[in-house]
Amino acid sequence: MCFSAGASFVGGIVVVAIGVVTLHAVHKPSQIVFASIPMFFGFQQFAEGFVWLALQNADYAAFLKPATYTFLIMAEVFWPFMVPLAVLQMEKNKKRRKLIRGFLVMGISVSLYFIFCLLLFKVTPEIRGYHIEYVDTFPKSLRLFVFAIYLFASIIPLFISSIHRTYILGILMALSCLVTILFFTQYLTSVWCFFGALISMVIYWILRDARRKFFIERRV
């Protein structure tokens, strides 16, 4: 979905549609952040679609900077704390909540780091083949460490949670990231969004089943 402007926009429409259905599956306020993840993915796709347009067509050059930073803020600032926050809000087990809180702190730390970098360092999006590479001047010495914390914060809580089937989402996200790292390393920020639709469908599946179980238990 991140391989061209058209693909990004189509992907965004598909994921937003999944997001609308997913939000309709919400039956508890604690599920709202988790259910909004597909919508988040969809708008992120739209942002990168405008990055593509601006890079390929001078008529859209004015969109380049706002679209680039919108995409990066969503990918690097919101995502690291959004997942642990969503899982924490749904989790009821006290011991698991305590563990997830630790990962939320990690995610917030990563988010603050990227805010600092986006404010002080330059980022230049470039089309390389069929992908966008976001070339930045962020501190290289911290790159691997921050990336590891980013992954831990956004994936491990899904395995800790007692919510039914969130571990499947964790496996899918881990595999998606692994595939991206192995085959598209320099385009990681952009290409990983390709898996947004599949991840969004799993989120819908988790909430749909939780909704069914909730209403069955109420009838009993």
Give the pLDDT of the chain (220 residues) as one tens digit per residue: 456 778 788 888 888 999 999 999 998 999 999 999 999 988 988 998 999 999 999 999 999 999 999 999 998 999 999 999 999 999 999 999 999 999 999 999 999 999 999 999 999 999 887 788 899 999 999 999 999 999 999 999 999 999 988 999 899 888 877 776 666 555 555 555 557 777 888 899 889 887 877 666 666 5
CA 77 – CA 80 distance, rounded (Å)? 6
Q: Residue written as tokens 């730390």?
A: 109
Rg (CA), the chain: 18
- At residue 175, the pLDDT reads 83
- At residue 39, the pLDDT reads 92
- At residue 132, the pLDDT reads 85
- At residue 21, the pLDDT reads 93
Measured from the Cβ of residue 81, the count of other Cβ atoms closer than 10 Å reads 22
- At residue 65, the pLDDT reads 95
The closest of 146, 148, 197, 135 to 174, measured between CA atoms, is 148
- At residue 111, the pLDDT reads 97
Cβ(27)–Cβ(211) under 8 Å?
A: yes
The closest of 162, 155, 201 to 35, measured between CA atoms, is 201
Two structure tokens written together for 99: 């563990």
Phi, psi dihedrals of residue 133, rounded to the nearest 5°? -105, 125
Phi, psi dihedrals of residue 135, rounded to the nearest 5°? -80, 120
- At residue 9, the pLDDT reads 85
